[in-house]
Homo-oligomer: A and B are copies of this chain.
């Protein structure tokens, strides 16, 4: 899921499909191995050996998902070497943060609204903020999508959409909690689609839809119920959260991303702040509220204890304590992401990582062997190659070459 979903979601750039897919593949493969080791040391280390099971693979997958989120912010602007370093550091920080949240603060976060999405988004945004490229508009032209690249991106969207219920429920307790997580996620995702379409149409002056919103905001609902998925959110609650996240996310793409880019100098290629950042925070707060409102009436007494593990260390906890600690978890995550992202960004600014020049960003041919055929297929891109000598038929020939 991580491979297909995130990979294709990022193929929307017209000339950066190879890199989006290939580098995502690379970092995921590397990240999973490193995550297996890291999480093995933290969670299942015993007698000098790491006990390995399918559970570990799922957790490593989650960890890598967080890296993929951050990758979305810097897509097109970093070299593979930078990416591997970022993966290495982020997986480490993710494991530390997750350990603190789940094992020290005893927070619940089944779908990873906090640990995966909020952490990944703000880590990535901090990195891209520090890696700010002043002259990025030189390659602005390649930062748009073309018809078929948008269709490829929809493969990613639909894949993530389909597997999100499984994703959010993968590490829940089997039985009731798992079914609840899947159903809540499903409802939230469906509401999020409706909200995204409605808001996308509403903010456009002619009522048209924007493919970017459909590709991204439709998934915001899944992020938004991440923490609360396995709790008693009830279908109506899930619909509400999903609608809210879908709407906020669309508005974010329309208004917040340009603002971030022009004022705060945060160049967020894929708009991860809208898809993961905001919904992640919403999800964490929803989770905290849902946890704080948990009563024995709804869960049953034993159910409450079982759902929130009110045993052992947490014996004296009430639902309110749990809610409070959820909020602490969110704040801690944000802190780790911002500090970690800053350090990471400063390291990546060192000049010897083989970064592409500003005018070569979002360009596959920097890193990939492209055949002549292909260069000929994109003759309109005159920022890279000297323009072909215009014949006498200049005006009619120049719009001719198609882009896809």
A residues neighboring B (CB under 8 Å): 1, 3-4, 7-8, 11, 14, 17-18, 21-22, 25-26, 29-30, 32-33, 36, 52-54, 57, 80, 144-148, 150-152, 154-155, 158-159, 161-162, 179, 182-183, 186-187, 189-191, 193-194, 197, 204, 208-211, 214, 218, 235, 239, 366-369, 371, 373-374, 376-379, 388-397, 399-404
The answer on a CB contact under 8 Å between A151 and B379 is no
B residues within 8 A CB of A80?
Answer: 197
The 10 closest A-B pairs by CB, nearest first: A391-B396, A29-B193, A391-B393, A393-B393, A400-B400, A29-B190, A377-B402, A377-B403, A210-B369, A208-B369
Report the minimal beta-carbon distance from A105 to chain B, rounded to whole angstroms: 30
> Which of B11, B155, B158, B403 lies in contact with A25, CB distance below 8 A?
B158
The answer on a CB contact under 8 Å between A144 and B373 is yes
- Kindly state the separation between the CA atoms of A29 and B239 in the bound complex, as whole angstroms: 11
Report the minimal beta-carbon distance from A253 to chain B, rounded to whole angstroms: 12
The answer on a CB contact under 8 Å between A183 and B29 is no
Which of chain B's residues has its CB closest to A213's CB? B369
- Kindly state the separation between the CA atoms of A401 and B392 in the bound complex, as whole angstroms: 17
**Given A54-B183, A162-B3, A395-B389, are A371 and B145 also a contact pair (CB < 8 Å)?**
yes
The answer on a CB contact under 8 Å between B403 and A395 is no
A–B Cβ pairs within 8 angstroms, 7 of them: A25-B158, A25-B214, A146-B373, A147-B374, A210-B368, A379-B399, A400-B401
The answer on a CB contact under 8 Å between B29 and A194 is yes
**Given A147-B377, A158-B3, A396-B397, are A369 and B211 also a contact pair (CB < 8 Å)?**
yes
The answer on a CB contact under 8 Å between B33 and A187 is yes
The answer on a CB contact under 8 Å between A402 and B401 is yes
- Kindly state the separation between the CA atoms of A265 and B179 in the bound complex, as whole angstroms: 48
- New A-B pairs, 8, CB < 8 Å, besides A7-B154, A29-B190: A11-B151, A29-B194, A30-B194, A36-B235, A146-B377, A208-B366, A402-B402, A402-B403
**Given A183-B54, A395-B389, A403-B402, are A209 and B373 also a contact pair (CB < 8 Å)?**
no
Which of chain B's residues has its CB closest to A182's CB? B54
B residues within 8 A CB of A376?
Answer: 399, 402-403
**Given A54-B179, A402-B401, are A148 and B150 also a contact pair (CB < 8 Å)?**
no
Report the minimal beta-carbon distance from A152 to chain B, rounded to whole angstroms: 6
- Kindly state the separation between the CA atoms of A18 and B147 in the bound complex, as whole angstroms: 8
Which of chain B's residues has its CB closest to A221's CB? B29
The answer on a CB contact under 8 Å between B393 and A388 is no
Which of chain B's residues has its CB closest to A365's CB? B208
- Kindly state the separation between the CA atoms of A214 and B3 in the bound complex, as whole angstroms: 14
- Kindly state the separation between the CA atoms of A68 and B155 in the bound complex, as whole angstroms: 18
Which of chain B's residues has its CB closest to A17's CB? B151
- Kindly state the separation between the CA atoms of A396 and B151 in the bound complex, as whole angstroms: 30
Which of chain B's residues has its CB closest to A50's CB? B235
